[in-house]
Amino acid sequence: MAIKTFREVIAEAMSEEMRRDPSIFLIGEEVAEYNGAYKASKGMLDEFGPKRVIDAPIAEAGFAGISVGSTLTGCRPIVEFMTFNFSLVAIDQIINNAAKIYQMSGGQMNCPIVFRGPTASAGQLGATHSQAFDSWYANVPGLKVVVPSNPYDAKGLLKTAIRDNDPVIFMESEQMYGDKMEVPEEEYLIPIGKADIKREGKDVTLVSYGKVIKQAYAAADELAKEGIEVEIIDIRTIRPLDYETIIASVKKTNRLVVLEEAWPFANVSSEITYMVQQKAFDYLDAPVKRINTKDTSAPYAPNLFEKWYPQVKEVVDAVKSVMYKK
């Protein structure tokens, strides 16, 4: 085991897979000469050269479309968006081409492609650079959506995503690239579609994913001081979603809080809430509680951003509200 940062394991996962399979290439803005906008492809140009680590112009629709087309010739591209806010320029290629190729070819052609880059807020970047698109892409049949919350999961899930024969949306966070943890030196894979119970507990199930799960950990530590044991589930994969792990936990704790960095209307927490009430309603001792960002674009001012983004106290209060519901 070695201590590695999130950005290091992203580069490692891509490099290991590119050594294994010469059909894989990386393309995106500043991925080559600059070593990645967030240094998540550091050293890859030197190792693989400009034909496999490709600096693209600021034309997301163009390089996404080229990459989707290349899958039909036997390539397996990794497309990096500097931020998933910029993926909106390429959304036609992702939704109307990559996600549809397998079905519209009658299963004759696959589209093995990974679209990866940062999602959601990252401090003072403004409203147009602080949007979570997890549930947007998860709404589309034909796409898989992965949002890891730590370096260990990120490496194992990215390697699996690159090997997948379907298009995968792989979302990170600018604010996690410096996060560190122990990661095995030997190869490992993490299956797409399997949640992970990060913390065992018997009183309340707390479901989250991505960087906002850090608020869940902090809240669980606070609640433990009062004797409340919170079970934290990191879903890791938005589509396919591991309903079974969530439902099994709810049947044990009889309470559910969902924490998500997304606007409150029609999001991942809405889907989880619905499915739990469909499949485990009789086990619930209190209504499901959701915690989201406020229903506005992300503010720039730090004091307003704090009001907009889910805070630890909100999580603590939500858990207590389902614990003491009469």
Strands annotated E in the chain: 2-5, 24-28, 53-55, 76-80, 114-118, 144-146, 168-172, 180-183, 196-199, 204-208, 230-234, 237-239, 256-259, 289-291
Q: Give the whole-angstrom CA distance, residue 223 versus residue 225.
A: 5
Dig out the tokens for 105 from the structure. Answer: 């070819």
The one catalytic residue among 8, 17, 80, 129: 129
| Residue 17: active-site member | no
Three-state secondary-structure class, residue 156: helix
CA distances from 163 to 9, 77, 103 (A): 16, 11, 19
Closest CA to 83 of 41, 38, 21: 38
129 has catalytic annotation: yes
Query: CB neighbours of 285 closer than 8 A, spacing ≥ 6?
Result: 254, 255, 322, 325
Please tell me the distance from the alpha carbon of residue 9 to that of residue 154, in angstroms, as a whole number: 7
Q: Exactly one of 12, 60, 80, 260 is catalytic; which is it?
A: 60
CA torsion 269→271→272→274, rounded to 10°? Answer: 120
Residue 179 to residues 46, 95, 242, Cα–Cα distance (Å): 25, 31, 25
Tokens, residue 205: 């199930």
Residues identified as active-site: 60, 129
